[in-house]
Homo-oligomer: A and B are copies of this chain.
């Protein structure tokens, strides 16, 4: 187990990691670095951190043996470049980013074998350390994305750390990770954002948002997620997201044609297949 952990970015995810770590009975020190003094102040007041700084040079004195990158993905490369000379050679750097792919190779180029890519499949549409949850990772999957260059001792260390927080670790290549989450996470967000946009465009005559049926509310809850974070995810995983949107457009077009042409039997088959698959899925949700 690490003894001096540095959380980089103490928003909702960084805060939750710190909180979960403390709740797990971790006896070491938890340090925080954030460009936002407000986040840092709140995280210190909440007792999530033992010490924190807004000055990146100061992380040197913390001598962390584990660094958890928890800031938005777009900041990882510039941050890694500044952190690399400040971190001990034997330290481990991992992350909570939703995008892996090329980013993992770039971070390996900068941080060397210190880096192990990770992505906890957990989160809410909330932000800020004040909403962070000690139980965020319990029973959830964490995907680690080793490459040919990965140090297996460090991979094992990161795996054990997540297991200690109640998560189930699964390994996947960075490329497969981005394809999978482009489809199961980034695509649903794109679809939900577009749904709200469509209802705005249809609201000329009557304010459609006054009629939130139960399904619609659940369905578009994720459209309240942080816009800048999602812009970055879409741009960083652009290739997979576009592929997934195109597959989705084809599925929607098929459904539209069946409705337009009144093909009752094929329409029923389409909806039955979908219901069956979605119902089967329940068995995977822990």
Contacts and interface: CB of A to CB of B under 8 A. Distances in A.
Q: Which of A122, A254, A274 counts the most chain B CB atoms within 10 A?
A: A274
A252 B245 contact: yes
A225 B238 CA distance: 32
A269 to B, nearest CB: 8
A200 B183 CA distance: 10
A234 B256 CA distance: 10
A75 interface: no
Interface string A206-233: 1011111111111111111111101100
A176 interface: yes
Interface stretch (A20-28, A89-97, A257-265): A257-265
A interface, size bucket: 35 or more
Q: Which of A192, A195, A205, A230 counts the most chain B CB atoms within 10 A?
A: A195
B277 A206 contact: no
B227 A222 contact: no
Interface string A246-274: 11111111111001101010011011111
A275 B220 CA distance: 10
A201 B250 contact: yes
A267 B198 contact: no
Contact of A122 (B206, B214, B256): B214
B216 A219 contact: no
A26 to B, nearest CB: 25
A162 interface: no
Interface string A177-202: 00111011101111111111111111
Nearest to A218: B218
A268 B193 CA distance: 12
Contacts of A274: 193, 196-197, 200, 223, 227
Contacts of A206: 176, 179-180
Contacts of A241: 259
Contacts of A122: 214
Interface string A12-43: 00000000000000000000000000000000
A31 B194 CA distance: 45
Contact of A185 (B201, B210, B215, B225): B215
B251 A198 contact: yes
A55 interface: no
Given A213-B121, A242-B259, A259-B242, A190 B235 contact: no
6 contacts: A176-B205, A190-B256, A196-B277, A217-B285, A235-B259, A242-B260
Given A176-B205, A194-B255, A228-B268, 16 more contacts: A122-B214, A179-B205, A183-B198, A187-B195, A188-B215, A192-B215, A196-B274, A197-B251, A198-B251, A198-B252, A199-B277, A201-B250, A212-B285, A224-B275, A225-B275, A249-B253
